[in-house]
């Protein structure tokens, strides 16, 4: 990170790493105010830590979302209904 | 069954017939079970990782829904209320079982990054896309990591990132604020990133 930018973060004119990493969820969702989001763009573009950190955060989300399929047990509905008929006082 | 008939029964937009459910009508419960048990099973199974126990939880969920339906206040969607019952049962079962090997709160906290004067204390080494791609068991690694999350964080990852329920819905299911859902989801992702880190970093050439 260049000296000018570091001074800006110290003066509170630009977000520091802690702030950027704390708000990554909102940044990814696009719910940050536009001006803040642009400040984050700038920070992520030049910070040697937050840049890769953000890529990894996003990769992690992608991997979570790829997920694995859950195989439904056969007769899930039937078994549940049998259980209900035996234990709940359903009216026909 | 025609396509329209099927979508009437299984379609996501159908709100259950509350009056019929309140009357304990068997057909109404059958429609509810048909429509909601697959989605609910996926959530419960992801929390527990045990098919038989998950199936028991599903049965118990619908029984409790039947028994407690008069307490449903219509402040949330009926399905949100139903899922809250199932998730609570699943979490209770997870706590009781000795299978839980999750991280302690302090170990979890250690997976969060540390800063000094607002800057990263340690540099962040890049991940190697080739290494990620070549790691055929990367989902295995990830799911082992998810299983190690403290239970409340794990549940939120499952509901938000995997099953893609909205923050508001999840907040209602878990009876916490939307802010708490957002914060925990973020902290969970950060912890997962940290647990994946050693598997995905560029490997140093072994110096001979
Ligand atoms: Zn930074």
ipTM of the complex model: 0.91
pTM for the full predicted model: 0.88
Q: Where are the alpha helices (DSSP H) in chain A?
A: 3-10, 17-22, 24-29, 34-46, 50-66, 76-87
Nearest Cα of chain A lies from the Cα of B31 at a distance, in angstroms, of: 10
CATH number of B3-97: 1.10.1740.10
What average pLDDT score do residues B83-94 get?
A: 95
Do B25 and A73 make contact, defined as CB atoms within 8 angstroms?
Answer: no
| Chain center to CA of B102 | 15
Give the chain B residue nearest A88 (alpha carbons): B63
From the list A17, A56, A81, the residue facing B193 with the nearest CB is A56
> What single DSSP character describes residue B162?
I
Do B37 and A77 make contact, defined as CB atoms within 8 angstroms?
Answer: yes
Least reliable range by pLDDT among B59-68, B91-100, B184-193: B91-100
Quote the CA–CA distance of B164 and A25 in Å, as a whole number. Answer: 14
Residue B96 has pLDDT above 70, yes or no: yes
A-facing residues of B in 87-146 (CB < 8 A) are: 113, 115, 117-120, 123-127, 132, 138-139, 142-143, 146
Residue B114 C-alpha to ligand 1 middle, in angstroms? Answer: 12
CATH 1.10.1740.10 in chain B is located at 3-97
CATH 1.10.10.10 in chain B is located at 105-207
Judge: domain B105-207, CATH 1.10.10.10: yes
pLDDT band at B205 (very low <50, low <70, confident <90, very high): low
Could you read off the pLDDT of A24-83 as tens digits, one per residue?
A: 999 999 999 999 999 999 999 999 999 999 999 999 999 999 867 899 999 999 999 999
Contacts of A77 in chain B (CB under 8 A): 30, 33-34, 37
Could you read off the pLDDT of A5-14 as tens digits, one per residue?
A: 889 988 889 9
In a domain, A64, yes or no: yes
Q: In total, how many domains does chain A have? A: 1
For tokens 């719910």, the residue is A31
Residue B14 has pLDDT above 80, yes or no: no
Spatial CA neighbour of B117 closest among A1, A39, A19: A19
In a domain, A92, yes or no: no
Domain that holds residue A52: 3-87
């Amino acid at each position: 990170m260049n000296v000018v930018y570091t001074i800006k973060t110290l003066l509170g004119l630009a977000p520091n790493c802690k702030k950027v990493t704390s708000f990554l969820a909102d940044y990814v969702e696009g719910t940050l105010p536009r001006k803040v989001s642009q400040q984050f763009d700038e920070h992520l573009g030049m910070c040697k830590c937050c840049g890769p950190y953000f890529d990894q955060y996003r990769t992690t989300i992608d991997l979570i979302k790829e997920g694995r399929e859950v195989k439904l047990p056969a007769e899930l509905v039937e078994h549940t209904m049998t259980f209900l008929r035996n234990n709940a006082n359903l009216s026909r | 069954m025609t396509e329209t008939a099927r979508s009437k029964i299984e379609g996501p937009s159908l709100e259950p017939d509350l009056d019929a459910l309140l009357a304990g009508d068997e057909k109404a419960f059958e429609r509810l079970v048909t429509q909601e048990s697959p989605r609910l099973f996926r959530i419960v199974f992801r929390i527990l990782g045990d098919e038989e126990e998950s199936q028991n939880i599903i049965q118990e969920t619908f029984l409790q829904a039947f028994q407690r339906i008069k307490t449903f206040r219509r402040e949330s969607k009926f399905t949100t209320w139903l899922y809250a019952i199932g998730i609570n049962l699943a979490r209770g079962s997870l706590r009781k079982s000795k299978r839980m090997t999750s991280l302690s709160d302090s170990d979890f906290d250690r997976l969060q990054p540390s800063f000094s004067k607002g800057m990263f204390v340690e540099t962040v080494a890049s991940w190697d896309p080739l290494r990620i791609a070549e790691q055929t068991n990367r989902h295995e690694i990830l799911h082992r990591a998810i299983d190690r999350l403290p239970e409340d964080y794990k549940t939120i990852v499952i509901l938000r990132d995997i099953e893609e329920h909205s923050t508001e819905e999840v907040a209602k299911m878990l009876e916490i604020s939307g802010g708490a859902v957002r914060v925990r989801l973020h902290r969970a992702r950060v912890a997962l990133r940290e647990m994946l880190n050693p598997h995905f970093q560029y490997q140093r050439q072994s110096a001979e």
